[in-house]
Amino acid sequence: MSGIPLRMVCAAAGLAVVAIASAPAALAQASSKVLTLQQALSRAAAANPRLAAAGFDVGIADGRRRQAGAVPNPEASVEVDNILGSGAYRGTRSAETTLQLSQLIELGGKRQARIAAGLAETDGAIWQREAERLAVLSDTATAFVSVLGAQRRVQIIDEQVMALDRLTPELRRRVEAGASSPAEISRAQVATDLLRVEGLRARTSLATERRELAVLMGDSSPTFASVTGQFASTGRPPSFQSLLAAINSNPQLIRWTSVRAQREAELLTARLKPIPDLRVSAGWRHYNDTGDSAVRLGISVPLPVWDQNQGDIAAANETLRKTRAEREINKAALIGVAGRAYDAATGALAELSLLRSSVLPNSRKAADAVNEGYVQGRFTLLDLLDAQSAVAQAALREQEALQSFHTAVTTIEGLVGRPFVLARERSSK
């Protein structure tokens, strides 16, 4: 990740709105843009749809919380008795009209339990949004590293093609002098064309990586020409034990505290449900036959004889007990990801150490000696091509090791929520 904490990177920079009429000028300007990691992270935090969806989940949970605290509505009713009968009850002469209001009064703390469950659900959704934010930033950083690596691969192949192109005049001179066979020119041309084919593949891969990075930033196609960062820089990651301790602060794991609180409140709600609620009513009754009126008061209580809600209580209790197992599953998955990334990082560092201390300098030294000897006629073209190929292969292996290292680093940083190596900025090498 970049040198600033992920929590600060999440503060998104505003994206410029480009008018359709100025599209050609905007495209020309975009073709010269160089993207840094910090800019990529800021744009992803501002425009990635996964973060928008996670924000909606928070709003949904908050709506449920507010609804959980709603007091039941009162009920109004009108009753007319003793009408449309026979004899004294013919018509409405003996009608009794009752206007009544009734209100359910919840007892046992049911409403408070629902509110507690809603608060915990909202808190869990907030932590889930934070976890999604870290995942998006980690994915964006990984895609950024992939583009850096693809750019470096294209550069290495282009340098090798240029080296072979520079060899052509010397080949022609040797052929004209009778020191070499004309077939050597064809052999060199084949080697160069094969490298160009490899370069086309590398450019195709680069285009794909650029598009994937653009999508993470909310764009359908890249609006940048290249990316820049300290690709060649490395740093020693902390001990694996310290990473394990840091993983406990991952939002995915912190979220389970809220999930447990929500499930405890749901279990309490299930246990409180059998407690009878009161329904009180007050009304006014009018007697048509006498013209008198009277107040009517009532209270009703359900009798929990048959349904004690035992099934829901058992289900809620098992769901609560399941919480710990689910958290442990989540933690084991995170540790597995961290372990693979840590092994990849340390393995890549070991490769880079050997490549930089021995393979790269020795291959270049050998290539210089063979090139000088070839001019003097002491080596064949095949020797020269092999020596130059060894230099290119060593550089490509370094590029692969660097990409593996930085990809592992971004994965770990996404798990622990903070960077631990030098910022990959300023240098494009």
393 within 8 A of 343, measured Cβ to Cβ: no
- For residue 295, the cross-strand partners are 284
Q: Which tokens go with 289?
A: 């036959």
Task: pLDDT band for 29, please (50, 70, 90 cuts).
Answer: very low
Mean pLDDT of the chain, nearest integer? 85
Q: For residue range 209-237, what is the model confidence (pLDDT) as tens digits? A: 999 999 999 999 999 999 998 888 888 88
Instruction: For residues 231 and 38, give the distance between their C-alpha atoms in angstroms, rounded to a whole number.
Output: 14
Extents of the domains making up the chain:
6-69+110-273+310-416, 71-105+275-308
Strand duo 96-105 + 34-35: pairing = unpaired
Q: Is the pLDDT of residue 319 over 70?
A: yes
In this structure, how many other beta carbons lie within 10 angstroms of the beta carbon of residue 214? 20
Q: Which tokens go with 118?
A: 């809603």
CATH of 6-69+110-273+310-416, one of 3.40.50.300, 1.10.3720.10, 3.65.10.10, 1.20.1600.10: 1.20.1600.10
Q: For residue range 237-252, what is the model confidence (pLDDT) as tens digits? A: 888 888 888 898 899 9
Specify the CATH class of 71-105+275-308 in words: mainly beta
**Which contacts (CB < 8 Å, 24+ apart) does range 196-205 have?**
196/161, 198/157, 199/154, 199/157, 199/158, 199/161, 202/150, 202/153, 202/154, 202/157, 203/154, 205/150, 205/153
Global pTM reads 0.80
Instruction: Give the per-residue pLDDT at 6.
Output: 33
Instruction: For residues 238 and 193, give the distance between their C-alpha atoms in angstroms, rounded to a whole number.
Output: 45
Same fold, 6-69+110-273+310-416 and 71-105+275-308: no
Instruction: Give the per-residue pLDDT at 86.
Output: 80
Q: Is the pLDDT of residue 91 over 90?
A: no
